[in-house]
Structures are given as C-alpha cells and as structure tokens.
Structure 1
Amino acid sequence: MKIIHHKADSRGFANHGWLQANHSFSFAGFHNPEKVHFGALRVLNDDIIAPKMGFGTHPHDNMEIITIPLKGVLKHKDNMGDEWIPVLPGEVQVMSAGSGVQHSEINGSVDEHLSLFQIWIFSDKQNVTPRYDQKKFDANERKNKLQTLVTSIDDTHEGSLKIHQDAIISRIDLGASNSFDYKLKSKNHGVYIMNISGKTLIDKTVLESRDAVGIWETDAFKINPEEDTSLLFIEVPMKF
C-alpha cells in the first residue's frame, strides 16, 4: 500500500476578501509540483464565499465538476438553460463540461457565508454533450455506512449522480467507536480521503479536521475514528 499525507495547513491558501480558498492541489496562484493531481483527481478546493458574492460567467471544457455545499446556499446558472438553481447542504451538484459550457456560481444568501467543496476530475471521454444534474442525499444514510454520491455514467449503480469517469465519490459519518473497512474498486484505483471534521486513524496516520490522505496500490484499508468523524472519499483511476 502507498500513502501520502497532506496536512490541512499544507494546502494552498488565497484570501481574496470575498473568497477564502484552500487548494489541495495546484490551482490559480498556488503551484506545487508535488501536488498537481492525484490520479484523475485534478482539483479539490475548500471555499468560503461571502454573502452575495461569487464567480461570474466563465468557461469549462472536458472536465467533470462536482460541488458539495456544506453550509449556506449556492446558486448556479449556465448556458444550458439552468437559471439560478439553488444547491443546498445535503445536495450534490455535477456538471460535465464536455465540448464546452459557460456558468456562474454565487452565494445566494444576503447574510450567510457559503462553505463548499469543489472537485474537478479529468473526463474519460472528450467533447461529450455538456450536462448538469443535482440530487439530495439523506445524511442519515451515511451514519456508520458508506453513502455513494457519484459514479461513472457507465456504471449500473442506482441512486448516484453520474460523470464521465470511472470514479466513485462517497461520504461516511463514523461514530467514535465504529471502525470501517474501505474496499477499492480495482488495483488501478486510488482514493483521496478528506477528513471533513473529527479525528481518525488510517494506517497509523492521524487525520484531524481538513487533513487528507491519498491511498493506492492496495485492495482495502481500515479506518479507526478517535472521535465522531465525517469523511469524504474521492476514488479515481490512477492511470487514465
């Protein structure tokens, strides 16, 4: 098994006033040649956006973009006909940029900060027709068990959002006394794990809030929480 450990304070950080951004991988003004991507995972940004502020209309292509609001309300608009759709905590948003899409994202609240994760994953198909989707997931369904949020559009898994890559995004909320065995999909897959909150032990590595590990070249590993812990898993092909 191979493992890399990224402490929360090792991430790139940018304070733009209206935006406080933490970058797990090289992004915008942050560049670390050892943290460009993890397999097909290109971006994991942990953003806090001020009320009424956001990202104006901008383009993407040939990238799978997944957004997970944690607090507040995100509003999304694009040139596919979606007009300021709210995305709330408990929901997940996916956008396959494909042959090209223009979109805007703003904090839809006038008085509350918006906290979210944004994930970019390299597509396994080029120039597909752009698509958008979102779905609400019940937090009770991830208490001490894995809740699958996103899978490949070619996968038969029901109930998950779909992207153009053989990836699996999932979450789990573990009680302090509940260990969990995570099993990877294949020998070519690795998983990047973000500890959203709490404290846990993975293969002798202690993860505190917003610490992360990348694990590959193994079939499975055990997670032993030391307190109530919430984890985000992004499993991707390491060769793609």
Structure 2
Amino acid sequence: MITMRKAEDRGPANFGWLNSFHTFSFGNYYDPKHMGFSHLRVINDDTVSPGAGFDTHGHKDMEIISLVLQGRIAHKDSAGNVEELPAGEFQLMSAGKGIYHSEFNASEKDTLKFLQIWIQPNVTGGAPGYQQKAFGEAQGITTVITPDGANGTLSIKQNASLSQLILAPQTQDKLTIEAGRNVYIHQIEGELSLNNGTTLKPGDGAKITKETALDLKNTGQERVKAIIFDLE
C-alpha cells in the first residue's frame, strides 16, 4: 500500500529568517494523523536566510540527520565538532545522553536550504557522536546510512537505513523490500513515478507498507533525486 503525503499538506512555519515545512508534527504544528512513521519522527524542509540560523540548543536520545540541498551549514557542538556541511553531504549527529549544538547559514549572502531529519534510536544514553560524508551523485540507489556502518556508510543507532536515489531522465530502478519492512520516500527533485501510478513531486512523501518491491521511474526531462528510508 502506498499513501501519499503531498508537499502542500505539510505543516508550515515561517519566522522570517526561517521558512519551514514539516512532514510530521513538530513545534507549533500538530496533527495527530501525522506524528511520524515507524521510528522516523521528523522531516523538516528548511530555508534559512543569509547569516541566520539556530542558536545553541540541546538534544537527547535522537539520531539527527541533515542533508544540505543548497548552500552550506556552519555546525558547532559541545563535543568539540566545528564543521561546515556543503550541499550534497550527509551529516548524522547522535545526541546520546545529551549534546548542545548550533546550526547557521555559513553565507552572509546566499540562502541555505536543507532537510532536518530525526529518527528515534533503539539505544539510549551513551556518548554523543558525529559523522559527515559525501556519497557522490551516482545513478540509481546509493546506501548512505545503515545500523552497522557497512561499506563506508554512516552508522545509526536504529534498525533503519537511508539511501539516496538519483535517476536521469527516462531511466528507472527497482527497490526490493524485505518482508515486514516499511519504506518512506521523500522527493527532492523532479517527478518520481511509482509502480501503482503514484507520482511524487518535490516536497511530496510516500508511506509504503505491505509491498515487496517498487518500480522507480523517471519519465520526465529533469533529473530525479529522492531519499528512501527503510524502517521496521
């Protein structure tokens, strides 16, 4: 079964310096029908004004993923990590027993656009962790995050994985889904067609349950880019 979550139905939040759309309930946006999906708790589509950002704040027992779509994030945390995250790179911060961090638009003139993703961990407490890596722009499905960090992927404290999907115009791929697993797709660029006729546009999402495979097709003239979550 495939259930659409259209971009225009997401919860909006505009603070002037930050314009955000929430796939699931977050902050002042609350919808009991959209509290998350499996262990996936947050997908915020954030646009941050030049020079602005999130002042130092704390997190505990959460796996926090950032993917920059445009611009660069300036990251600083209480574990001593001071980094910049450019477009296309993935960042995974394990909050563990507690961490403080700040995230700012590293540019004073250019807009920052990024996805902020939270996944609830299956291990609580412990030391915070920080990982950051680029996985390129290869065609097809590229695994980015796994529970064990296999094959150079980032390691997450949950029985979950995250993959990047890139399809050139008029190409396709196939995703095999293990029995009992759930999949969530968040569309970033282009239009992605699924095997039941569903078409995802930028900002759209799809919950996939009780399926064994998905045909992923780009029938348009623009590149398709999406992220795919494999969840319990």
Whether the 8 Å contact between 2:149 and 2:155 is mirrored in structure 1 is no
* Alpha-carbon distance in 1 for matches of 2:95, 2:181: 23
Q: How far apart are 1:167 and its partner, in Å?
A: 1.1
| Counterpart selection for 1:182 from 175, 185, 188 | 175
Report the equivalent of 1:105: 103
**Could you tell me the TM-score, scaled by structure 1's length?**
0.92
Report the equivalent of 1:116: 114
Q: SS state of the match for residue 109, structure 1?
A: coil
Report the equivalent of 1:16: 15
Seq. identity, %: 35
**Could you tell me the TM-score, scaled by structure 2's length?**
0.95
Q: How far apart are 1:15 and its partner, in Å?
A: 1.0
Report the equivalent of 2:94: 96
* Alpha-carbon distance in 1 for matches of 2:126, 2:179: 27
Tell me the alpha carbon deviations over residues 51-75 of structure 1, each in whole angstroms, 9 at most, x when there is no partner. 1111111111111000000110101
Letter in 2 for 1:107: N
Report the equivalent of 2:133: 135
| Counterpart selection for 1:201 from 193, 199, 203 | 193
* Alpha-carbon distance in 2 for matches of 1:69, 1:172: 15
* Alpha-carbon distance in 2 for matches of 1:213, 1:109: 33
Whether the 8 Å contact between 2:24 and 2:34 is mirrored in structure 1 is yes
Q: How far apart are 1:105 and its partner, in Å?
A: 0.6
Report the equivalent of 2:77: 78
Give the alignment's Cα RMSD to 1 decimal.
1.2
Q: SS state of the match for residue 9, structure 1?
A: helix
| Counterpart selection for 2:157 from 156, 164, 173 | 164
Whether the 8 Å contact between 2:24 and 2:41 is mirrored in structure 1 is yes
Q: SS state of the match for residue 32, structure 1?
A: coil
Q: SS state of the match for residue 179, structure 1?
A: strand
* Alpha-carbon distance in 2 for matches of 1:77, 1:26: 26
Q: SS state of the match for residue 8, structure 2?
A: helix
Structure 2 spans left out of the alignment, 5+ residues: none
1:232 aligns with 2:224: no
* Alpha-carbon distance in 2 for matches of 1:60, 1:189: 28
Q: How far apart are 1:188 and its partner, in Å?
A: 3.0
Whether the 8 Å contact between 2:50 and 2:111 is mirrored in structure 1 is yes
Q: How far apart are 1:156 and its partner, in Å?
A: 5.7
Tell me how many residue pairs correspond in the alignment.
Answer: 229
Whether the 8 Å contact between 2:45 and 2:113 is mirrored in structure 1 is yes
Letter in 1 for 2:10: R
Tell me the alpha carbon deviations over residues 149-181 of structure 1, each in whole angstroms, 9 at most, x when there is no partner. 1111xx362111111011111111112321211
* Alpha-carbon distance in 2 for matches of 1:132, 1:208: 31
Whether the 8 Å contact between 2:193 and 2:216 is mirrored in structure 1 is yes
* Alpha-carbon distance in 2 for matches of 1:127, 1:62: 6
Structure 1 spans left out of the alignment, 5+ residues: none
Structure 1 residue ranges (4+ consecutive) displaced by more than 6 angstroms after TM superposition: none
Report the equivalent of 1:218: 211
Letter in 2 for 1:236: L
* Alpha-carbon distance in 2 for matches of 1:213, 1:35: 12
Q: Map residues 44-55 of structure 1 onto 2, 5 A cutoff.
A: 44-55=43-54
